Amino acid sequence: MRNLFFSIIILSCLFPVLALAEEEPAGAQTQLFLQQRAEIQILNLVNSLYLTTPQVQLIFERAKMARIMSRLYDIRSEELLQALNPLLLKLKETLAAGQDVPAELKEAVNKAKQEFETVKENYEKHRLKLAADVKDCLDGGQLYIINTYQPCLVPPPGPGRIGQAEKNEGAEKMLANVRALPLAKYERRRNDLAGKMIRQIRKKLPVGFVIDEAKETARIIAFFDEARKMDEVSFNVHKEELVAAFKSAYVVPQLPLDITVKIDKFLLDEKIISLLKQRL
């Protein structure tokens, strides 16, 4: 009887949640978050560019053209996939049965796949042409900001720092605190401080990034020691270089990226249309 009583209480608590789930599609909050995050990231970049009215107008027009292209591409790709998917189903069924794939099926799949890829390549090429138009209307300083822009939600304070998500202030502040410790206290606490730093580093690394804790502890302590050896003037002059050299061990190499790709991603995103419309 007691178990039945608790079951009834639990179910009565769940009923409002279940009713809400029926009213609101699964993932609605996730979609809202992604939408708002993307708009904020675009606004952070746009606000940092200090666009002139003619620049806003051109970006607005090219973004509308990109939206039309996107709609047409979606329609055409859907048509092509309607032809490709039945062929892929036949291919899957043939492979699942352990049979040899007929030559005509191979040819049909490859032809349909190639047609789909050609349409996709042409779509991407035309979008990059629109991005090149935007690039041509921007000055060197604005292109530099776009090239170095790291998407963020809350921009760091200060001019020229919009979108720079990964800053060194935390590490610099820790170094300053480490430098201020008396020698005896530093020698007692340096391993704990190194461990704390490793825990902070882990939070920011990609999944699967491996840290050898023993080696990293020794490297961090050497980093602390180097900072403690500097006089106040040298530390203030070189602290950014010191931190940058330390952090370089955790930087994942990136291939060079054509800036038009970044312009396409942020300044030709469909979401920018309503955001820029308010400025015209």
Domain boundaries, the chain: 35-165+258-277, 169-250
Give the tens place of pLDDT for each residue, 108-162: 999 999 999 999 999 999 999 999 999 999 998 899 889 888 887 776 655 544 5
* Integer Cα distance of 143 and 177 in angstroms: 37
Average pLDDT, the chain: 84
* Integer Cα distance of 88 and 109 in angstroms: 7
Asked whether the beta carbons of 209 and 239 are under 8 A apart, the reply is: no
DSSP labels for 129-166? HHHHHHHHHS-HHHHHHHHH----SSPPSSTT-TT---
Rounded-to-5 percentages of helix, strand, coil across the chain: 80, 0, 20
Give the tens place of pLDDT for each residue, 228-243: 999 998 888 888 888 8
Give the tens place of pLDDT for each residue, 241-278: 888 888 777 765 555 668 999 999 999 999 999 999 98
